[in-house]
Amino acid sequence: MKPGKVSLIGAGPGDPGLLTIKGRDCLESADVVIYDYLANPVLLGYARPDAELIYVGKSRGHHSVPQDQINQMLVDKAAAGLNVARLKGGDPYVFGRGGEEASLLHRHNIPFEVVPGVTAGFAAAAYAGIPLTHRDITTSLALLTGHERPERKLSNLDWEKLATGLGTLIFYMGMTNLKMIGEKLIEHGRPADTPVAVVQWATLPRQRTLTGRLDEIADQVAAAKIAPPAVIIIGEVVRYREELRWYDNLPRFGRRFLITRPRAQAASFVALLQAQGAETICIPTIEIAPPDDWKPCDQALSQLNNYAGLILTSANGVDAFFDRLSSQNLDLRALAGVEIIAVGPKTAKAIEKHGLKPDFVPQSYRAEGVVDELLARGVNGKRYLYPRTEIARRLIPDSLTKGGARVDAPIVYRTIAPEGKQEMIRHLLESGELDAICFSSSSTFDNLHTLFGEELHQLKKKTAFFSIGPLTSETIRKHDFEVALEPENSTLDDLVMAMVEYYCDREE
């Protein structure tokens, strides 16, 4: 059997946005994903739904899977013909033991590739506002590990060269030995007042940065209760932090939001929140599926010239309708003379992507707005096509029918709970670090509640629930949850602005 390939992927230090495009592509094509403690589990969302996910994480004082077993696992999975993504925190070849794993794969004739990642030292410095080199201060730096192998003790390092021969020092895994590191450097010539920065959970909203003198930093860290994972940066460049800090100065820094729809459908929403310094984690709780039966829709498509208007109420409905139109060998000419009605601006933009401009968008971006404006214009004797989701309310067809219209409402898509997302979401819920969950529809909440039930109730005092609009809010409240925020208009852009105001009010 031809062996599969192993991709040793650097996941970066924590911010999922720092994963490289090649790393993402490897995850998307892997049969097996073997991941570490410091690899953000949110990245598992790139894996195929049928991929095997294996956690082998190690943290200080606890080894889930010994390294030799991890090595053998890589060999065994690849030898079975599977493509393996080995997801490692930071960079595989910077204190990541990637070299050991690659050597074993080479000895067993297993094809492998190395996908570099942003190493924690570089990322910690950048997100803390510290340039590791600066032509006015230093052009040299060293990366060191404060804890690698028991037999290679820190006391065996050439402390004199480290103290006097290099500008910036970056220690990984050095928190346990921080006091000794300071003492050794001072003993061998580094000034006691050399500035030091300790950056914990670099690049994540929980990032903490503590600065101090080399002779005092260990006591300050102990008093502040800063624990691993953390990076230690020693050198005059640390003085630039107050001038160049940017990440922890952002207005929503430290806020963490779960977005319950796919990133592609919430791109502008995510971008606006990230620009505020918030971490946005997109894990959809709904998935779009075709209807059980296309016959009602196909019958309507065969007689489009009989309709006065086409009513579209969501981007998903727009895409499903036009995809089906194309599959029936029809194009936009089939809609000649049919009034195109969009429930709101987002739906209108989705229609425009298919080459049409809607004829009207109601002032109120809800089904009620469509009904009110159509009834005001008169619908008696007219026929409307309303392609919808399986769980859509009957408001539009029932109201227009009472007004004398005929409405055909074929199902063009269903929303179902996605598979393979439960563990990622559970990790976030159990961490207690979610400031809010943003729900963009009733389905996104219903599916989350179905998955977790009572576990979700444990969040009541820790995590706010933000709703896109009245219908979603009604669904949330029906399950005895509070809605902390609902924008005046039911759009994601309005939700972002409402969120900004929500936190501004609480910080004043």
| pLDDT tops 80 at residue 333 | yes
Name the pLDDT band for 244 (thresholds 50, 70, 90): very high
Least confident range of 120-124, 133-137, 372-376, 451-455: 451-455
CA–CA–CA angle 273, 274, 280 (5° rounding): 80
Name the pLDDT band for 420 (thresholds 50, 70, 90): low
DSSP letters, 32-94, are EEEE-TTS-GGGGGGS-TT-EEEE--EETTEESS-HHHHHHHHHHHHHTT--EEEEESB-TTS
| pLDDT tops 50 at residue 140 | yes
pLDDT average, residue stretch 222-238 = 95
Q: What is the pLDDT of residues 421-456, one digit of tens each?
A: 677 777 777 777 788 999 988 888 988 888 887 778
**Dist. CA 483–CA 438, nearest whole Å:** 10
pLDDT of residue 85: 97
Catalytic residues, by residue number, are 36, 58
Beta partners for 157?
none
| pLDDT tops 60 at residue 60 | no
Tokens standing for residue 451:
């998955």
Q: What is the pLDDT of residues 103-118, one digit of tens each?
A: 999 999 999 999 999 9
pLDDT of residue 154: 67
Count of beta carbons in the 10 Å neighbourhood of residue 461: 5
Closest CA to 396 of 309, 507, 483, 502: 309
Q: What is the pTM of this model?
A: 0.68
Q: What amino acid is encoded at 305 in this protein?
A: N
Query: What's the whole-number average pLDDT of the chain?
Result: 89
Domains defined for the chain, CATH in brackets:
6-118 (3.40.1010.10), 122-249 (3.30.950.10), 256-286+418-507 (3.40.50.10090), 290-415 (3.40.50.10090)
pLDDT average, residue stretch 447-475 = 84
pLDDT of residue 460: 63
Name the pLDDT band for 264 (thresholds 50, 70, 90): low
> In terms of pLDDT, which residue wins out, 63 or 175?
175
Half-sphere exposure of 185 (CA within 13 A, CB side): 31
pLDDT average, residue stretch 321-343 = 94
25, 103 in Cβ contact below 8 A? no
**Dist. CA 385–CA 342, nearest whole Å:** 12
